[in-house]
């Protein structure tokens, strides 16, 4: 399970819902690229809006595992194909996430600029449950 960050003015969950499926690209950070490389088809991911929003807003599915970005000549720069699944009942803000004990040591709160974050089952469940409150 994963959390993928995006600037909503660049590509939002609304865009993903409209498109249905997209190539998730633009990842440059070596740690984020390693995380991207660990994704497999069928994995779930929260789409998290950065910038002024700073909240998990929707659920997506990895439709195709990591592969080299076909637009670049660098085999280290990976992408995945992502499909929209559903919008969360309500966005779950970073301030709420930080208050959840299961996120105390998470890269989401410890490495704020990391764009691809692995989640445990407990962390996934905490975000899902919080979105229903």
Domains recognised in the chain with CATH numbers: 2-128 (3.10.590.10)
The distance from CA 65 to its chain's CA centroid, rounded to whole angstroms, is: 14
Global pTM reads: 0.94
Q: Which of 91, 112, 97 is nearest to 8 (CA)?
A: 91
Convert the pLDDT of each residue in 51-63 to its tens digit: 999 999 999 999 9
> In the structure, what pLDDT confidence band is assigned to residue 50 with cuts at 50, 70 and 90?
very high
Which letter, b or e, does each residue of 51-89 get, where b requires 16 or more Cβ atoms within 10 Å of its Cβ?
A: eebebbbbbbebbbbbeebeeeeeeebbbbbbebeebbe
Res 119: pLDDT: 97
């Amino acid at each position: 399970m994963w959390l993928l960050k995006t600037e909503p003015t660049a590509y939002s969950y609304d865009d993903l819902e409209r498109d249905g499926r997209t190539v998730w690209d633009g990842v440059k950070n070596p740690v984020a690229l390693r995380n991207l490389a660990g994704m497999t088809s069928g994995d779930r991911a929260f789409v998290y809006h950065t910038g002024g929003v700073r909240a998990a807003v929707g659920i997506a599915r990895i439709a195709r595992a990591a592969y080299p970005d076909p637009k670049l000549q660098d085999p280290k720069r990976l992408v995945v194909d992502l499909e929209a699944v559903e919008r969360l009942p309500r966005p779950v803000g970073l301030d709420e996430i930080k208050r959840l004990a299961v996120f105390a040591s998470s890269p989401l709160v410890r490495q704020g600029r990391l764009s691809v974050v692995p989640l445990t089952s407990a962390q996934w469940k905490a975000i899902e449950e919080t979105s229903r409150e």
